[in-house]
Structure 1
Amino acid sequence: MSLWGLVSKMPPEKVQRLYVDFPQHLRHLLGDWLESQPWEFLVGSDAFCCNLASALLSDTVQHL
């Protein structure tokens, strides 16, 4: 089960506090995809991280 699957079973007031900046409906829509992306590599400002961030942003927009 995805992390979102677990979070979505929490009481609504707790979920709302967790997702102030990121809309819940988008998190629900993109849950599995978001969790499968290599976010752990976005730790610097070098060319690799910038290119990866750009690619992830493009992919996110495409999934929406």
Structure 2
Amino acid sequence: MSQWNQVQQLEIKFLEQVDQFYDDNFPMEIRHLLAQWIENQDWEAASNNETMATILFQNLLIQLDEQLGRVSKEKNLLLIHNLKRIRKVLQVRMHSTFSKMSGFMRLKFS
């Protein structure tokens, strides 16, 4: 069972804490949709390697695009809108600082 699936089974008081943990820097939608991919990445190595961090960032965007394609087929307008917005925000905010984000991811998911 993935870490994310385990988190979703927590009691409500703990879920409220999880909710506070996520923000626009790394939205919960991304954590939810890309849970397996996120948990399979070597965030620790990427936090110390700019090249690897950049590759992970590009792969994250690819994964996000794949999810966007999937939900577009389902015609889920709200999720499509949110994913497009999230992708744009991530691209603008994180591109220059993804190695820092890798460290953040390492702390959250390791």
Bin for the TM-score computed over the shorter chain: 0.7 to 0.9
Name the structure 1 match of 2:3.
Answer: 3
Tell me, which stretches of 5 or more residues in structure 1 are unaligned?
Answer: none
Deviation at 1:42, TM superposition (A): 2.5
How big is the alpha-carbon RMSD for the aligned residues of Structure 1 and Structure 2? 1.4
Residue by residue, what CA displacement relative to the aligned partner does 1:3-62 show, whole Å, maximum 9, x if unpaired? 101111222412212223421111110001000001121343xxxx11100100000000
> Which residue of 7, 22, 40 maps to 1:36?
40
| Preserved contact between residue 4 and residue 32 of structure 2 (Cα < 8 Å) | yes
> Which residue of 8, 16, 19 maps to 2:19?
16
Change (3 A) 1:43 1:25: closer
Q: TM-score, normalised by structure 1?
A: 0.79
Higher relative contact order (CA 8 A, sep 6+): 2
